[in-house]
Amino acid sequence: MTDHVLIFDTTLRDGEQSPGATMTHDEKVEIAEMLDEMGVDIIEAGFPIASEGDFNAVSEIAKRSKTAQICGLSRASFKDIDRCWEAVKHSQRPRIHTFIGTSPLHRAIPNLDMDEMAERIHDCVTHARNLCDNVQWSSMDATRTEWDFLKRTVDIAIKAGATTINIPDTVGYTEPVESAGLIRRLIAEVDSADTVIFSTHCHNDLGMATANSLAAVQGGARQIECTINGLGERAGNTALEEVVMALKVRKDIMPFETKVNTRKIMNISRRVATVSGFPVQFNKAIVGKNAFAHESGIHQDGMLKNRETFEVMRPEDVGLAGTTLPLGKHSGRAALRAKLSVLGFEMGDNELKDVFVRFKDLADRKKEVFDDDLIALVRQNNSEDDRLKLKDLTVICGMNGPQKADMVLEIDGKDHATSATGDGPVDATFNAVKSLFAHDARLQLYQVHAVTEGTDAQATVSVRMEEDGRIATGQSADTDTVVASAKAYINALNRLLVRREKTAPGVDTPEIRYTDAGE
């Protein structure tokens, strides 16, 4: 008989705290719906008191949830907890998650002694339980907390009404033997430990987040907190796809089950990478581009004879089609719709029409159109409501600089043209944009990745920009790297403009996040 392990996804809360990974309201709602459909048990939708924008996103996600519990984070204060409840109460299955740092380093921040902190934990968990019968309490930096005090605070939280006890490895400090041992000891020595679910929340600072989470499960934890692609602060969080697939593949030593539909993993991984602006590294476990690629002659020979010689799971298990798209410029909409469906994209007629036009344009420029090319097309994040739109771009470059960019940019419905020079074609292009639309945004990140192989491959460009504390990412793909760069840069500017308008005088700031909100 197998035990059920709850999957608690915090991509929209802890994952979004990764610098530059801020998502829009609509993107958060979209990702939450995908997580719900995938079978995640609990979705931590955000930190409601952090901003009006975060509150609204959590509220909307709570209203739309179908099966997943919707959770909000709150610090150890009545004000935070009340605001959290106001956001999550719309869910059919709401949860309040409150936390406080219990290690010596974290106790020093609010300047509380052990007795004062113990009293605050009791009061806050009691207050949360009076609002909601599903309360999670976290001992932030638990793995660096003195054993006697950790045991004491866990006991207090349980007696105050907590239903889930989370033991975070906030800074990725522990290792698997310690992780399992800590959970096992708490379950053995804390009164009424059998009345609650113990949870693990691990960070990847030493590269052991997945191993520590799985070890905690073997020690008795029955909830894993994780994020899509391991997104999160510093080196990231436990990756959902890694723990779920590890439990699926190694049932011989870990007889545990999850409700996650693993065939939806690749689609949501790609979507999170797009909206966060954090590309997945090629050799990332499960979802990386090379996770199911084999180049060695010995490996290829073994794969041809029996896939199991070098693959412990099938690409289909995580939602990969595993085939090249045999479509070209003569293919019709029906074939395109069918292939997109295989890749996890169900589209209405108007949306398909837009993608089909771009597909035909790409097919005219490429000899072969691959699955990844199609995914890049679908993920183009331009909007009809964008104030800035690239209409034309001609770049002159070569060894004898400076390079020059001639650009036509539509701004609020009117075309504007200019020429600009720069240290390279991309620099000249960005200078042209800035000359037509003056701004103070600072370029924080510029990344280029080839979507597929070959000299005619599409380039996916990611741009991250910052203006007055607001951060926005833009992404675009094109067979012309400079064009893709221009579109990504303009896309990031459009998103900054939306946030600038939301933070105009008299409007609540949507993106303020507290530095002590993570675990």
Rounded-to-integer distance, Cα 299 and Cα 218, Å: 33
pLDDT band at 509 (very low <50, low <70, confident <90, very high): very low
Do 341 and 217 share a structural domain? no
Counted domains in the chain: 4
**pLDDT, tens digit, for every residue of 211-261?**
999 999 999 999 999 999 999 999 999 999 999 999 999 999 999 999 999
pTM of this structure: 0.78
Q: Are residues 198 and 336 in the same domain?
A: no
What's the rounded Cα separation, in Å, for the pair 455 and 463?
A: 22
Query: What's residue 471's pLDDT?
Result: 80
Q: What is the pLDDT of residues 435-466, one digit of tens each?
A: 999 999 999 889 888 877 777 778 888 888 88
Burial class (CB in 10 A: 0-12, 13-18, 19+), 447: middle
pLDDT tens sequence across 157-172: 999 999 999 999 999 9
pLDDT at residue 20 above 90?
no
Residues 308 and 333 both lie in one domain: no
The pairing of strands 403-411 and 388-396 is antiparallel
Check residue 331 and give its pLDDT: 76
Q: Is residue 46 part of a domain?
A: yes
Average pLDDT, the chain: 87
Residue-wise DSSP of 406-448: EEEEEETTEEEEEEEEESSHHHHHHHHHHHHS----EEEEEEE
Same domain? For 253 and 132 the reply is: yes
Query: Which is more confidently placed, 421 or 279?
Result: 421
Rounded Cα distance between 147 and 149, Å, is 6
Which amino acid appears at position 457 of this protein?
A
405 and 362 together in one domain: no
Three-class SS state of 169: strand
Decide if 286 is inside a domain: no
From 1-15, 313-327, 358-372, 460-474, the region with the lowest mean pLDDT: 313-327
Judge if 397 and 355 occupy the same domain.
no
Q: What is the pLDDT of residue 342?
A: 74
Among 253-267, 379-393, 492-506, the least confident range: 492-506
CA-closest candidate to residue 99, choices 19, 157, 17: 157
Region of residue 366 (phi > 0: left; psi between -120 and 50: alpha; otherwise: beta): beta
Can you give the CATH number for the domain in which 406 is found?
Answer: 3.30.160.270
With a cut of 70, say whether residue 322 has pLDDT above it. Answer: no
Q: Convert the pLDDT of each residue in 72-119 to its tens digit.
A: 999 999 999 999 999 999 999 999 999 999 999 999 998 899 999 999
Q: Exposed, middle or buried by CB within 10 Å (0-12, 13-18, 19+), for 232?
A: buried
Residue 452 CB contacts under 8 Å (≥ 6 apart), including other chains:
368, 370, 372, 373, 458
Q: How confident is the model at residue 350 (pLDDT cuts 50, 70, 90)?
A: confident
pLDDT of residue 511: 36
- Which range marks the domain in which residue 342 is found? 323-379
Q: Specify if 509 maps to a domain.
A: no
Are the C-beta atoms of residues 67 and 42 closer than 8 Å to each other?
A: no
313 and 267 both lie in a single domain = no
Residue 91 included in any domain: yes
Binding-site residues sit at: 14, 201, 203, 237
Residue 411 identity = I
Tokens 């896939």 label which residue?
A: 307
Exposed/middle/buried for residue 385 (C-beta within 10 Å: 0-12, 13-18, 19+): exposed
pLDDT at 469: 78
User: Would you give the end-to-end CA distance of the chain in angstroms?
Assistant: 33
Place of tokens 């519990």: 69
Q: CA-to-CA distance for 485 and 175, rounded, in angstroms?
A: 42
User: Six-digit token pair at 72?
Assistant: 């909000």
- 50, 183: one domain: yes
Whether 512 has a pLDDT exceeding 90, the answer reads: no
User: What's the pLDDT at 105?
Assistant: 94
Kindly state whether residue 479 falls inside one of the protein's structural domains.
Answer: yes
Lowest mean pLDDT among 82-96, 179-193, 261-275: 261-275
Can you tell me the distance from the alpha carbon of 89 to that of 71, in angstroms, rounded to the nearest whole number? 9
The CA distance from 141 to 182, in Å, is 13
Is residue 148 over pLDDT 90? yes
Q: Check residue 447 and give its pLDDT.
A: 87
CA-to-CA separations, 19 to 57, 132, 227, 445, in angstroms, rounded: 19, 32, 15, 11
Do 406 and 368 belong to one domain?
A: no
Residue 511 lies inside a defined structural domain of this protein: no
SS3 103: coil
Q: Is residue 227 part of a domain?
A: yes
302 & 333 share domain: no
Crossing angle for the helix pair 333-342 and 349-365, to the nearest 10 degrees = 100
- Say yes or no: 333 and 407 in one domain: no
pLDDT reported for residue 510: 35
Buried b (16+ CB within 10 A) or exposed e, 102-141: bbeebbeeeebeeeebbebbbebbbbbbebbebbbbbbbb
* Between residues 74 and 355, the one the model is more confident about: 74
Name 394's Cβ contacts closer than 8 Å, sequence gap at least 6. Answer: 405, 406, 407
Burial pattern 311-332, b for ≥16 Cβ within 10 A else e, equals bebeeebbbbeeeebebeeebe
CA distance 145 to 107: 10
pLDDT of residue 133: 97
At 309, give phi and psi (nearest 5°).
-65, -30
Residue 288 lies inside a defined structural domain of this protein: no
Q: How far does CA 324 lie from the centroid of its chain? A: 27
Confidence of residue 298 (pLDDT cuts 50, 70, 90): very low
* CA quadruple 52, 512, 81, 163: dihedral sign: positive
Q: Using 50, 70 and 90 to split pLDDT, how confident is the model at 374?
A: confident
Same domain, 219 and 348: no
Q: Residue 298 contacts by C-beta under 8 Å, 6 or more apart in sequence?
A: none
User: Residue 197: which pLDDT band, with cuts at 50, 70 and 90?
Assistant: very high
- pLDDT > 90? residue 369: no
DSSP state of 122: H
Residue numbering of the annotated binding site for Mn(2+): 14, 201, 203, 237
Q: What percent of the chain has pLDDT over 70?
A: 89
* CATH value at residue 112: 3.20.20.70
Q: In this predicted model, what pLDDT tens digit does every residue of 36-84 receive, in sequence order?
A: 999 999 999 999 999 998 999 999 999 999 999 999 999 999 999 999 9
